[in-house]
Structures are given as C-alpha cells and as structure tokens.
C-alpha cells in the first residue's frame, strides 16, 4: 500500500454555523462551516414559513378567479340554444333576412324545419336565392344543427 496518499483525519472536527460551534464530527478538515443544519432548518424545527415570493399567491388567486369566470361563461354558453338564434344573427343579408321575416321564419329552428322539407321549400320563398341557402346551411353546420 502506498504511503501518504490519504488525507489527514481529524476525529474532532468542529462544525460551525454562523461562527458558533454546533457539534464535532470526524472529517478530513479541521473546521466545517455550514449555513443550515438540523437545529435551524424549518423542516426539523417545525417552524416553516410561507414566503410569498414575487406575488405567487396573488398570481394563483388571479388564475383561480379567471378560471371561475370562464366556467360561468361556459355555463351561459351551454344555456344558449342554437335553435333559438334569430335570423338576424345569421348575417344572410338584408334582402334574405327580410324575406324570411315576412315568411314567418324568425329562428334557426324554423329554418331547420323548412330545410327538412327540402331545399326547394326555402328557395320557394321570394327574395331567398342560392347564396342565401348556402349561407343558411353554413350557419346551421357551424352551430352543429346539420351535417
């Protein structure tokens, strides 16, 4: 075995926390300076503190509040039925909207009933043409009423 390859062993090395002797242990250094040890660590002493660094709690509360607002908005959207939407909200154009209103068609549900009779039932209304029919179908597809 080679001589002088092992470091010197100090059986009574001092462990210092902020310049104060805490304990003695065996080590290869005569003094060990540490910042935290079990006598001052919050986990071991049971005095943990909640630190609000950079407003983390505030950010969490804002996210929670936004999430609740979005849930309320989703509930409102679910209550809205696409069958009750008015013909005015379909952006069909003034001429087609007026023609549908004069024919007594005021909601998407009424249009859906007419469409079930066939496309000719809608095209038979004066003032409603192919473009209006295409726009009506596009709107009903977007609302999930037809495929």
Summarize pLDDT for 24-77 with one digit per residue, the tens.
Answer: 999 999 999 998 888 877 777 777 666 666 778 788 888 999 999 888 887 666
- Angle, helix 108-117 to helix 130-142, in steps of 10 degrees: 120
Residue 146 in tokens: 């037809």
Residue 27 parent element (H or E): strand 20-27
The strand pair at 31-34 and 10-17 is best described as: parallel
Q: Decide: helix, strand or coil at residue 33.
A: strand
**What would the pLDDT profile of 115-130 be if each residue is shown by its tens digit?**
888 888 888 888 888 8
The pLDDT value recorded for residue 78 is 53
Domain architecture of the chain: domains with CATH: 10-45 (no CATH), 82-142 (1.10.150)
């Amino acid at each position: 075995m080679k001589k002088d390859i092992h470091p010197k062993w100090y059986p009574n090395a001092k462990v210092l926390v902020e310049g104060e002797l805490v304990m003695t242990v065996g080590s290869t250094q005569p003094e060990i300076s540490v910042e935290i040890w079990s006598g001052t660590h919050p986990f071991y002493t049971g005095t943990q503190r909640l630190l609000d660094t950079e407003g983390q709690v505030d950010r969490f509360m804002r996210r929670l509040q936004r999430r609740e607002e979005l849930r309320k908005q989703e509930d409102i959207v679910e209550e809205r039925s696409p069958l009750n939407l008015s013909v005015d909200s379909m952006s069909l154009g003034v001429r087609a909207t007026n023609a549908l209103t004069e024919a007594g068609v005021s909601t998407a549900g009424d249009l859906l009933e007419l469409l079930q009779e066939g496309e000719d039932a809608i095209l038979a209304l004066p003032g409603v043409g192919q473009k209006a029919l295409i726009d009506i179908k596009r709107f009903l597809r977007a609302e999930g009423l037809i495929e």
